[in-house]
Structure 1
């Protein structure tokens, strides 16, 4: 039955109208929105609950502890990318995405009802860590499978435009988390927020995840039965035949994710602890910036369809490498909220060159038999190493009195992403979605002797 369902679904996918494709993508992205809301709400509420789980030390020490647990959640992503990439390549994209939402629901519900350090001692931060590990596993599953699904359901010449909706809903989830905090800041007193109000957003996320499970049950499947039943579908051994694609995926992810988390989650704290703004003002600044950033995703996606995903990624690499240091230096010394907004927006406008294309670009590097695994696992490793540790590294360097080193670190990782983009072939000609599938042979360094491509 599974094979027959896959064959029918694949046939339906090839004959979809643009309107039907958009509906399918929005169905996938509804879960994306909820999962990233749940994941980001931790970053935005940690400033309120940090002292409840880590009562020792000053504010920076407490935030450093919660940032450490935020980073540890990222280190579950490779495991999530591996397990759910295998499931998506062998059991179907829809099956993998439904299970991942269940995991996120459980993690959010757990955080919402956690006892504090005062009640259970060291068990409190341990339980918080376990909940974040569950959420990290879920997000590791969501990105790779979601990017694969969207790339497969989209049409030639519009893949970056359709792909932009993945980051549109990632940002929407982040924005929804931020707006939830803004509402709570205006409804509850600071003492109430610190005592129990911070739990409300996690309860909202858990309930929303159950709604998404229902919506995803009706999604069309994009995986072909012959690919899912292939003897090496979803295997690490098969993935390692695409070593160059794996390295490119990790290198691209490293700089992109570090840049993104610097100007999104960490910026919420950076403007408070380094620039001296109060949390409520920072929430307004970041809300406005993220709204503009979110609305620009389809625009940049259409631009990338015209110039090519590789060229769009090169533009990001150049701009981030050159401007990241002056942007972060300027933000540290800014005192006017409008100037702060302009500088944050500058960083996000640079990020917009990669956000609409990154999922489709990575999916284009792999054949269908290992596509979800190829997108999910290398991405999760690069994201864990650089994106997930962004806050921790920044706060650690700040605590050591050398905060500016972080600026150059971000610039250096963006330069690595630039190098990877330059070495990457033109995927419109050589990618697996619309090209020849000869990615390995057309990278900017020599192929291994005897290597041959398997076009799927």
Structure 2
């Protein structure tokens, strides 16, 4: 016998959705998230090929510093995107905000796909690359918070940890598909061809994929109108009374996002530039490790439904603080692809305690009328300051000849996340659609 989800408040457009309809909405919301993050991560995974085209230099580290600096600038636009789309979602609905942000991401990808190089237009080339990345950063700032809010509100009561974990399953899926596309291109094209034009193909694919969300927007059902009726819906004034929740999201995002980007996007460059592994081997390692990482998300999401979100965060903060220096030290000298796989997976498994419920616990901390704004803005700031800067900070330590200092920097931020988790309230059992504080 099928159990229908718990009824939601009057004024909620998703109140009468069947189990099947709710499941379809979760899938559609997750697929939009996958497209968004595929587009975002293609930049990180193709930088090894196009960095010389926009930042001419004989030094690989200097080239990567240029592209990583633009990567970080994309993150700096996230708080602005988080504010804009968070306000939009709280006032006009989660569904519309998600669709607009994904289409905007496609525009940014299309721009990068057709950019002339430094040899063709000089300094205008990196300037236009920066513009494309800024559009992507603005878009992603809105997508994360609205997707997190949407999934927390439409998920089945008592299983929100499990269903909300699919936000990161599809986020990782976006990374995985981006890597897979590059691996296929590496088999079909020479290294010279990848540098000449091959790196543009993944951006073009992403631009087309982003526009397909318009074909499936009817499957996305709005979750609430009650929040929009609040006089302070989507405003900073309405968010101020919930400053403790805002600070909690900042502290946990700092550690969780930093560790995520260290062991995912930056790890590709770290294994090539520090451990001196072959780029193709590294791509295979990173592709392989993302599969179990994605599968771990529902497992840890279910765990949070049993032990509580706060316990998940405490375990993450403690384990990340203890293990970061040993893991990065071993990876600096790794020679075997198998050993690299095991060590990177260990770091990402610890990170899964955070990523699996990253969006959910944040959404549960805020009332419905400022939920999208609170999640988007706090996450955008924390992610910009610590996640987006991870590659640039790491490469700066390396350029200064003090690479091990970066390991301790990551450790310190993870320790802050642990202390934040000690002070947060446990949100397990919270009903997002009934929370109108």
Q: What is the TM-score normalised by the length of structure 1?
A: 0.92
Equivalent residue, structure 2, for 1:3: none
Q: Deviations over 1:397-455 (max 9, x none)?
A: 001000001111111111111111110112136x46289x6xxxxxxxxxxxxxxxxx4
What is residue 229 of structure 2 aligned with on the other side? 229
Instruction: Give the Cα–Cα distance (whole angstroms) in 2 for the partners of residues 286 and 428 of structure 1.
Output: 33
Following superposition, the deviation at residue 296 of structure 1 comes to 1.6
Paired residue for 2:3? none
Q: Corresponding residue for 1:447? A: none
2: CA distance, partners of 1:68 / 1:217: 38
Q: Alpha-carbon deviation of 1:56?
A: 2.8
Q: 1:196-238 CA deviation, whole Å, 9 max, x = no partner?
A: 00000000000000101221243100122x3213221000011
- CA, structure 1 residues 9+116, in 2 after alignment: closer, same or farther (shift >3 Å)? farther
Match of 1:207 in 2: 208
* Equivalent residue number for residue 216 of structure 1: 217
How far apart, in 1, do the equivalents of 2:176 and 2:297 lie?
A: 14
Gapped regions of structure 2 (runs ≥ 5): 1-7
**Distance of 2:232 and 2:397 partners within structure 1:** 45
**Structure 1 residue aligned with 2:94:** 93
The equivalences for 1:77-88 within 5 A come to 77-88=78-89
Structure 2 counterpart of 1:382: 382
Asked if the contact 1:98–1:217 (Cα under 8 Å) also holds between the matched residues in 2, the reply is: no
Deviation at 1:31, TM superposition (A): 1.0
Q: Is the 8 A contact 2:157 2:431 kept in 1?
A: no
**Residue 297 of structure 1 corresponds to which residue in structure 2?**
297
**Offset at 1:16?**
3.7
Q: Deviations over 1:318-358 (max 9, x none)?
A: 11000011000000011111111110010011011111111
Unpaired stretches in structure 1, ≥5 consecutive residues: 1-5, 438-454
The Cα shift of 1:129 comes to 0.1
Aligned to 2:372: 372
Report deviation, 1:20: 3.0
Mapped to 2, the partners of 1:161 and 1:328 lie a distance apart of 30
User: For 1:155, what is the secondary structure of its paired residue?
Assistant: coil
Match of 2:336 in 1: 336
Alignment correspondent of 2:42: 41
* CA distance, structure 1, for counterparts of residue 99 and residue 61 of structure 2: 38
Is the contact between residue 156 and residue 434 of structure 1 (CA under 8 Å) also seen in structure 2?
A: no
Residues in 2 aligned to 1:434 and 1:85: alpha-carbon distance in whole angstroms = 17
* Alignment partner, residue 27 of structure 1: 28
8 Å contact 1:117–1:123 — kept in the other structure? yes
Deviation at 1:17, TM superposition (A): 4.3
Q: Does 1:348 align with 2:348?
A: yes
CA distance in 2, matches of 1:364, 1:243: 14
The answer to whether the Cα contact below 8 Å between 1:163 and 1:357 also exists between their aligned partners in 2 is yes
2:194 is aligned with 1:193: yes
Equivalent in the alignment of 2:12: 10
Number of matched residues? 430
State the shift of 1:29 in Å: 1.1
Q: Cα distance, 1:18 vs. partner?
A: 4.0
TM-score for both structures, normalised by structure 2? 0.96
Q: Could you tell me how far apart the structure 2 residues matched to 1:56 and 1:191 are?
A: 17
User: Could you say what secondary structure the match of 1:426 adopts?
Assistant: coil
Deviating more after overlay: 215-224 vs 143-152: 215-224
Q: CA deviation at 1:96?
A: 0.6
Q: Does 1:433 align with 2:435?
A: no
Runs of 4+ in 1 over 4 A off after TM superposition: 6-9
Per-residue deviation, 1:8: 8.2
Task: Describe the superposition over 1:94-138 as per-residue Cα deviations: whole angstroms up to 9, x where unpaired.
Answer: 111111012101100000000000110000000000000000000
CA distance in 2, matches of 1:151, 1:216: 18
Taking the aligned partners of 2:238 and 2:431, their CA distance within structure 1 comes to 15
Q: Say whether the 8 Å CA contact 1:28–1:216 is kept in structure 2.
A: no
Say whether the 8 Å CA contact 1:9–1:221 is kept in structure 2: no
* RMSD over equivalenced CA pairs, Å: 1.6
Q: For the residues of structure 2 that align with 1:30 and 1:75, how far apart are their CA atoms?
A: 25
TM-superposed CA distance for 1:364, in Å, is 0.6
Kept in 2, the 8 Å contact 1:108–1:135? The answer is yes
Q: How do 1:100-179 residues align onto structure 2 when only pairs under 5 Å count?
A: 100-179=101-180
Equivalent residues in 2 for 1:303-322 (5 A)?
303-322=303-322
